[in-house]
Amino acid sequence: MINIEATITNLYPSPNFFENPINFTSFTIQFAGMRDFTTGNVTKQILQFSGPLVLGSVFQNLYNIIDSIVVGNVLGKEALAAVGASFPVLWTLISLVVGIGSGASTVVSQYFGAKDNAKVLRTIDTIYIFFFGASIIVSIVGIALSEPILRLIRLPEEVIPEAKIYMNIYLAGMVLLFGFNGTTSILRGLGDSKTPLYFIIIAALLNTLLDLLFVVVFRWGVASVAIATVLAHGFAFFGAVWYLNRSHPVINFSFKNLQFDAGIFKSCVRIGLPTGFQQSFVAIGMMAIMGIVNGFGTAAIAAYTVALRIDSFAKMPSISFSSALSTFAGQNLGAFEEGRAKRGLLSTLFISGVYSVLVTVLIVLFGHWLMTLFIDDPEVVRIGQDYLVIVSSFYIVFSVMFSLMGMMRGAGATVVPMVTTVVALWVVRLPLSIWWSSEIGVNGIWWALPVSWAIGFIILLIYYFSGKWKKHVVVKKNTRKF
Q: Where are the domains of the chain?
A: 40-479
Among residues 190, 274, 279, 262, the alpha carbon closest in space to that of 469 is found at 274
Within 13 Å of residue 461, how many CA atoms lie on the same side as its CB?
12
Q: What is the pLDDT of residue 315?
A: 92
What is the Cα–Cα distance from 297 to 300, expressed in whole angstroms? Answer: 6
Residue range 440-463: mean pLDDT, rounded: 95
What per-residue confidence (pLDDT) applies to 477? 60
| Largest pairwise CA distance in the chain | 73
pLDDT number for residue 473: 75
DSSP code string of 339-362: HHHHHHHHHHHHHHHHHHHHHHHH
Q: What is the pLDDT of residue 97?
A: 87
Residue 24 has pLDDT above 70, yes or no: no
Residue 21's pLDDT is: 29
Phi/psi of residue 394, nearest 5 degrees: -120, 25
Would you state the pLDDT for residue 9? 27
Q: Backbone phi, then psi, for 112, in 5-degree steps? A: -65, -40
CA distances from 415 to 254, 270, 271, 468 (A): 34, 9, 8, 11
276: pLDDT confidence band, cut at 50, 70 and 90? confident
pLDDT of residue 333: 83
Instruction: Give the residue with greater pLDDT, 352 vs 336.
Output: 352
Rg (CA), the chain: 22
pLDDT, position 5: 27
Q: Which amino acid is at 266?
A: K
Q: Cα–chain-centroid distance for residue 371?
A: 23
Q: Is the pLDDT of residue 301 over 80?
A: yes
Lowest-pLDDT range, 36-45, 243-252, 379-388, 456-465?
243-252
Question: Per residue in 112-157, pLDDT tens?
Answer: 777 787 788 888 888 888 999 999 999 999 999 999 999 998 888 8
What pLDDT is stored for residue 476 in this prediction?
60
Of the candidate ranges 31-35, 45-49, 83-87, 355-359, the one whose mean pLDDT is the lowest: 31-35
**Spatial distance between the Cα atoms of 158 and 156, rounded to a whole number of angstroms:** 6
